[in-house]
Amino acid sequence: QQQVKQSPQSLIVQKGGISIINCAYENTAFDYFPWYQQFPGKGPALLIAIRPDVSEKKEGRFTISFNKSAKQFSLHIMDSQPGDSATYFCAARWSNYQLIWGAGTKLIIKP
């Protein structure tokens, strides 16, 4: 119930391609779904976030798609660049502002 399942564990995409990372959850009480980006040796940084009353949110090359009925949400990175190579975490907000984290996806963009 409290888990957020993230896939794939790792992903290799050619430069200029679309990177897609998926997350699924069970608890319908989750009310905020952020994505964080983490570079090696650094802490995660908030990339983009969405609430469940919105089906899509776009910020530059990054888009979250949210399917409330399927309890799934995904991150799309358009025109992927080598600088996008990082580990990406999805998360869901639980009560009292606690975040439940996915296991992470290591994304490699090949030049």
Partner 1 sequence: DGGITQSPKYLFRKEGQNVTLSCEQNLNHDAMYWYRQDPGQGLRLIYYSQIVNDFQKGDIAEGYSVSREKKESFPLTVTSAQKNPTAFYLCASRSQGSYGYTFGSGTRLTVV
Binding site for partner 1 (CB under 8 A): 4, 6, 9, 32, 34, 36, 41-46, 49, 89, 93, 96-99, 101-104
Minimum CB separation from partner 1 for residue 79, in Å?
25
Q: Are strands 86-93 and 45-50 parallel, antiparallel or unpaired?
A: unpaired
Q: Which is nearer to partner 1, 71 or 101 (CB)?
A: 101
Which is nearer to partner 1, 44 or 73 (by Cβ)?
44
Q: Are 80 and 13 in contact (CB under 8 A)?
A: yes
Smaller CB separation from partner 1, 43 or 111 = 43
Asked if residues 83 and 95 have their Cβ atoms less than 8 Å apart, the reply is no
Exposed / middle / buried, residue 61 (Cβ in 10 Å: 0-12, 13-18, 19+): middle
- Closer to partner 1 at the Cβ: 20 or 99? 99
Name the minimum Å distance from CB 43 to partner 1.
Answer: 3
The 3-state DSSP class for residue 50 equals strand
